[in-house]
Structure 1
Amino acid sequence: MHWLLSGPLSIEKLTVNITGLPASLQGKKLVQLSDFHYDGLRLSEEMLEKAIALTNEAEPDLVLLTGDYVTDDPTPIHQLILRLKHLQSRSGIYAVLGNHDIHYKHAKAEVTDALTSIGIHVLWNEIAYPLGKELPLVGLADSWSREFNPVPVMNQLNPDIPRIVLSHNPDSAEILQTWRVDLQLSGHTHGGQIMIPGIGPAMFFYEKLTEKIPSKVRRRVPFLQENISVVKHWEWAQGFHRIGKNQLYVNRGLGTYLPGRLFCRPEVTIITLRGD
């Protein structure tokens, strides 16, 4: 994707307060990357290289990837991992899959195997402990998957223990209010791609408009069918949100679809953990 259509890469830095965070984890630094859509069309090599360099410069304790490494055909994952293998983290790199990573038959296995081959831990309804037992990391199946079922995973955790949850689609935050989620990291929305200053994502109004267009017409017009119902909660399209007692951060992603981005730059997110 040409830089004129995506805008320059942005570094977003935030501090997240977590109740009950152990002293040993105070100041731990996480870097989140999301929505690469690496297929030669939606992410330039230059931006990807810069995102990896900025990640490594941050010297993170943990790198977290929140899905959509490819767009349709999973084959480009084999080129993407040649770049991602340069990511550096003290306690490892953990990932979940997005809806595009499971779109084609066998895509889930191919993307998972490729990421695993370079030491990235892919979580699919699993719990990991890269920072120790005092701060579990939960990775959920994509919410559009038939395997999305947080109940048996989340119920394994002691509610007195803080946790971080990776879930590609931010809409899952609505369901996850049943449990304690000290920090949910999501992507999927690309931040809305086109933001109307002071109003919000243009996609919200676009979806409302296209809902009124007959399906026979939508199928004949490029982009109308593909982008319907990206998310329910466009108010969570990017940035930090409190959802009940839980906390959600939505990364704007690196990849860009046509017609491009406006007031919605691609991002690398650097998160510092603090006790509340």
Structure 2
Amino acid sequence: MHWLFTGHLRVDKITVKIADLPVSLEGTKLVQLSDFHYDGLRLSEEMLEEAIALSNEAEPDLVVLTGDYVTDDPTPIHKLAQRLKYLESRYGIYAILGNHDIHYSHSQAEVTDAFTRIGIHVLWNEIAYPLGTELPFVGLADYWSRDFQPAPVITQLDSAIPRIVLSHNPDTAKILQQWRVDLQLSGHTHGGHIVLPGVGPLVFHYKKLLKKLPKKLRRWVPFLLGDFSKVVRYWEWAQGFHKVGNNQLYVNRGLGTYRPGRLFCPPEVTVITLISQ
């Protein structure tokens, strides 16, 4: 999609406090990339190349990918994998799958295989220890899949140990409140696409706005054309950092862009620095 509709790629740098973070992991740097929708339409080769370059420039300890690498047809994943093999990090690349990555019955296997071939670790209800046993990474199955069952995974961990959870859909933060989640990394929402400065994502407010518009004008409101309530329930978590109960959630705005495009919601590369609380 043309940059006029997507906006320029932005690097968002955040610092997150983690309780009980080991001294040896103080200052650990993660890069999060999400929602590529690499299908020849929604993400340009130029922006993908820039995102990889910016990630490498950050010199991360770990790169995490939080889902939706393709849109429907999984075939483009093979070409995308050949691009992503140029990502650099000290301790590897870990990924989870989004709802679009399991669209067809064969999609999950094809996406997983393409990533595994280039050394990207795909987590599906699994725990990994790329930075050591003192900071596990939990990768959950997509929220809309039958396999989304966080309890058997998370309860394997001692509650005294900090952990980072990768879960594509931020709505899962509501469910995950019952367990310790020091940082949940999600995507899925694309930040809401259209954001009103000082107000937030338009989709969060559009029902109220529609009531104030004449009926003849309502059909021209972009969000009326699709049922965005089916994307997520908690649009207030559409992007950025949030406290959900005792847990912490960060939602990446993604790289890919759907029509009608983005407004005040640029695609994002997130650089996350972990410090002790």
Secondary structure of 1:108's aligned partner = helix
> What letter corresponds to residue 114 of structure 1 in structure 2?
A
Aligned pairs (5 A) from 1:57-206:
57-206=57-206
- Gaps (5+ residues) in structure 1? 211-217
Cα deviation, 1:117-158, whole Å, max 9, x if unaligned, reads 100000000000000000000000000111100000010000
User: How far apart are residue 224 of structure 1 and its match?
Assistant: 3.2
Q: 1:190 to 1:99 in 2, by over 3 A?
A: same
The residue that corresponds to 1:43 in the other structure is 43
Cα deviation, 1:22-73, whole Å, max 9, x if unaligned, reads 0000011000000000001000111000000000011100000000000000
User: How far apart are residue 205 of structure 1 and its match?
Assistant: 3.9
Aligned pairs (5 A) from 1:228-247:
228-247=229-248
Measure, in 1, the Cα distance between the counterparts of 2:164 and 2:228.
Answer: 29
> What letter corresponds to residue 249 of structure 1 in structure 2?
Y
> What letter corresponds to residue 118 of structure 2 in structure 1?
I
Measure, in 2, the Cα distance between the counterparts of 1:271 and 1:166.
Answer: 14
The percentage of counterpart residues that share the same residue type is 74
> What letter corresponds to residue 74 of structure 1 in structure 2?
P
Query: 1:207, 1:228 within 8 Å by CA — same for their partners in 2?
Result: no
Measure, in 2, the Cα distance between the counterparts of 1:140 and 1:49.
Answer: 28
Secondary structure of 2:127's aligned partner = strand
Secondary structure of 1:12's aligned partner = strand
Measure, in 2, the Cα distance between the counterparts of 1:96 and 1:203.
Answer: 26
Measure, in 2, the Cα distance between the counterparts of 1:225 and 1:107.
Answer: 24
- Gaps (5+ residues) in structure 2? 212-218
The residue that corresponds to 1:11 in the other structure is 11
Secondary structure of 1:178's aligned partner = coil
User: How far apart are residue 197 of structure 1 and its match?
Assistant: 1.6
Query: 2:193, 2:261 within 8 Å by CA — same for their partners in 1?
Result: yes
Aligned residue pairs, count = 267
Measure, in 2, the Cα distance between the counterparts of 1:90 and 1:7.
Answer: 30
Cα deviation, 1:181-202, whole Å, max 9, x if unaligned, reads 0000000000001011222212
Q: 1:24 to 1:47 in 2, by over 3 A?
A: same
User: How far apart are residue 203 of structure 1 and its match?
Assistant: 1.9
Measure, in 1, the Cα distance between the counterparts of 2:109 and 2:6.
Answer: 30
Q: 1:64 to 1:189 in 2, by over 3 A?
A: same
Secondary structure of 1:30's aligned partner = strand
Q: 1:197 to 1:95 in 2, by over 3 A?
A: same
Cα deviation, 1:87-126, whole Å, max 9, x if unaligned, reads 0110000000000000112101101111111000000000
Secondary structure of 2:236's aligned partner = helix
Measure, in 1, the Cα distance between the counterparts of 2:73 and 2:169.
Answer: 20
